Amino acid sequence: EVQLVESGGGLVQAGGSLRLSCAASGLAFEDFAIGWFRQAPGKERVIVACVSSGDRAAYYADSGKGRFTISSDSAKNTVDLEMNNLAPEDTAVYYCAADYYNLGSCRKLAALYNYWGHGTQVSVSS
């Protein structure tokens, strides 16, 4: 059974930092692209960052460029998202997802991802 478990969310003040972690099990980790998405109340789920299968090339949405860093540890089957200089507009539920795709860069559309975690809440106060 494939499982993706997120951890590390919480409440921080604007300008603060959080590190989210996604632990994957039940899948051939290196064969899957892994993405971090977020969904704010009343809004659609959107990509934050992702890493491709294999070489783990990273992609960042404009919302996180320069502030967020995604990293992968194949020994632990984890993908972390380091978030710095957080702002109230970063408040959302953050989800980890896996996409069985090995034809290039990680994909950006949530609908293409096969497996999802339950999400972790990130709240940023002003």
Mean pLDDT by 10 residues, the chain (126 residues): 97 98 96 98 97 96 97 97 98 98 94 97 98
Instruction: Note the pLDDT of residue 115.
Output: 98
Residue ranges of E strands in 18-109? 18-25, 33-39, 46-51, 58-60, 68-73, 78-83, 92-99
What gap in Å lies between CA 26 and CA 23, rounded to an integer?
Answer: 10
Give pLDDT, residue 124: 98
pLDDT given at position 31: 95
pLDDT of residue 53: 96
Strands (E), 62-111: 68-73, 78-83, 92-99
**pLDDT of the residue at 65:** 96
pLDDT at res. 21: 98
